[in-house]
Amino acid sequence: MLAKFPGRCTQCQGPIRPGEEIVGAGGGSTAWVHAACGDDLALPGLAAPRATPSRTPGATAADRSAGKGAGRARTPRAPKAPMSAPAGATYVYTDGACSGNPGPGGWAWAIDRDRFASGSERPSTNQRMEIRAALEAITALSGPLVVVSDSTYVVNCFRDRWWEGWLARGWTTSAKKPVANRDLWEPLVTAVRDRGDVAFQWVKGHSGHEMNDLVDELAVAASLARD
């Protein structure tokens, strides 16, 4: 389903924006995760519901204390460390936007205010444009790169190597469903694997970061431009 309100993904801790695809975290929880985080939850990284020790009539406090550790869920995995930047890497900032979801979409990448590109896709979605922005940057630019994106969908795919599971399962998720946006993911994954000199880093969106704000403006303008 699509998020109606802003929130935070309980799997990657990244922001959930209105219009993004989300799924329930499961286990009776009312929490939500990005659709891509849900693809590879099995659900890794999320604790299962904690079992409550039964309180049999007449049980003493000592009896209950002795059973405190029984049935506890495993500790959630610690967030993975950011990817290391390749030596001599150029930092390129990417973003995607969509007027409606689906609706007219725009993507953009920029190294600085003099070197950038943008484009559009109609119709599209927010997630497609985030992937497209990264793909366009990697296709256009040679040499070691660090792709900086505010999309956990894009960054975590490579930081957490989700793509390895997708390939092993024939481009299906752990839930045996086709990977969404495969037409963009497949060339992006192939390019990153073949090059071996691309890393991804996350930046918080709409936080006053100069380059993230620039590519956001470029992507929004591309999504609204008339052909």
Catalytic residue among 14, 19, 96, 119: 96
92-101 burial string, b = 16+ CB within 10 Å, else e?
bbbbbbbbeb
Catalytic residue among 21, 121, 136, 216: 216
Q: Which of 141, 173, 144, 170 is nearest to 157 (CA)?
A: 173
Catalytic residue among 121, 130, 136, 160: 130
Verify whether residue 206 is a known catalytic residue: yes
Verify whether residue 130 is a known catalytic residue: yes
CB-based contacts of 6: which residues, under 8 Å, 6+ apart?
15, 16, 17, 18
Catalytic residue among 206, 209, 213, 227: 206
Alpha-carbon torsion angle 165, 166, 167, 169, nearest 10 = 80
Give 144's Cβ-side CA count (13 Å radius).
8
Element (H, E) at 87: none
Catalytic residue among 20, 121, 136, 150: 150
Catalytic residue among 21, 95, 136, 160: 95
Q: Indicate which residues carry an active-site annotation.
A: 95-96, 130, 150, 206, 216
